[in-house]
């Protein structure tokens, strides 16, 4: 199971600045996978060196992966918010019914009091 890196992902930058690295070691390690081996890393670097895999494609693949992570995080946040809204709606509904029942009881008590007087 992959664990998302706890770092500032590349999508937080409006644009890439030449003096800042586009990706850091944790992000690259995440992209390679937790079960990566030195051989896999060498294969990727070899493919880039032999122009079988361009640097532009590597950057594109990395950007796409981190955009996917961002969308998944946002989706999960929306789901959590939806669940919270649903719970709040249920709570409001339950408390409204309780207040209505208390209002009926209070009205009955007032009518009984008026009948005694």
Structural domain contains residue 40: yes
Structural domain contains residue 3: no
Would you state the pLDDT for residue 101?
A: 93
Structural domain contains residue 51: yes
Give residue 35's domain range.
10-116
Q: Answer whether 0.75 is exceeded by the pTM.
A: no
Structural domain contains residue 2: no
Mean pLDDT across 22-46: 76
Higher per-residue confidence, 7 vs 92? 92
Q: What percent of the chain has pLDDT over 70?
A: 80
Structural domain contains residue 37: yes
Structural domain contains residue 4: no
Which structure tokens are listed for 67?
């955009």
Are 9 and 69 within 8 A, CB to CB?
yes
Mean pLDDT across 11-30: 65
- Looking at the structure of the chain, the number of domains it has is 1
Would you state the pLDDT for residue 100?
A: 93
Structural domain contains residue 104: yes
Sorted by sequence, the CB contacts under 8 Å of residue 29 that are 6+ apart come out as 5, 36
Sorted by sequence, the CB contacts under 8 Å of residue 5 that are 6+ apart come out as 26, 27, 29, 30
């Amino acid at each position: 199971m992959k664990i998302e890196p706890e770092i500032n992902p590349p999508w937080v930058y409006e644009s890439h600045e030449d003096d800042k690295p586009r990706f850091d070691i944790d992000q690259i390690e995440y992209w390679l996978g937790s079960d990566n081996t030195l051989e896999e890393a060498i294969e990727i670097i070899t493919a880039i060196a032999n122009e079988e895999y361009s640097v532009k494609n590597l950057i594109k693949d990395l950007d796409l992966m981190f955009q996917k992570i961002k969308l998944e995080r946002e989706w999960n946040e929306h789901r959590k918010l939806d669940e919270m809204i649903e719970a709040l709606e249920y709570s409001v509904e339950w408390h409204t019914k309780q207040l209505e029942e208390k209002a009926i009881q209070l009205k009955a008590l007032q009518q009984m009091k008026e009948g005694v007087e």
